[in-house]
Amino acid sequence: MTKIPGPPSFDGLKRRIERHRAEGTARKGDHFVRQTYRLGLLDARAKAREWFAEYPKAAYWTEVESWRQLDNDQIEFTMRRLPSAD
């Protein structure tokens, strides 16, 4: 009789995510400027638009690096861009 496996364990993935977050913005060989925010949804969207207006994607490679909804209806997100448009 073949045993049907249960749901996969996400323990390894959870450890990798925690380790990645613990590294913070000091990543070796990475020259991006990062800023992490915790805001309500509407404020989070406005802040992201503000970054794209001030640092255009074509010149600064601006992007939303991560975006997650927290339990208290807050959004935690990290914006990333190059330090200059050179």
**d(Cα 67, Cα 78) in Å, to the nearest integer?**
7
pLDDT bucket at 14, cuts 50 / 70 / 90: confident
Mean pLDDT of 67-86: 92
Q: Is 46 helix (H, G, I), strand (E, B) or coil?
A: helix
Give the chain's mean pLDDT: 87
Please indicate whether residue 26 or residue 16 has the higher confidence score (pLDDT). 16
| Domain layout of the chain by residue ranges | 30-86
Q: Specify which residues 36 forms β-bridges with.
A: 78
Please indicate whether residue 74 or residue 9 has the higher confidence score (pLDDT). 74
Please indicate whether residue 17 or residue 43 has the higher confidence score (pLDDT). 43
pLDDT at 26 over 60: no
Question: Are the CB atoms for 76 and 44 separated by under 8 Å?
Answer: no
**d(Cα 53, Cα 78) in Å, to the nearest integer?**
16
Helix (H) / strand (E) element for 29: namely none
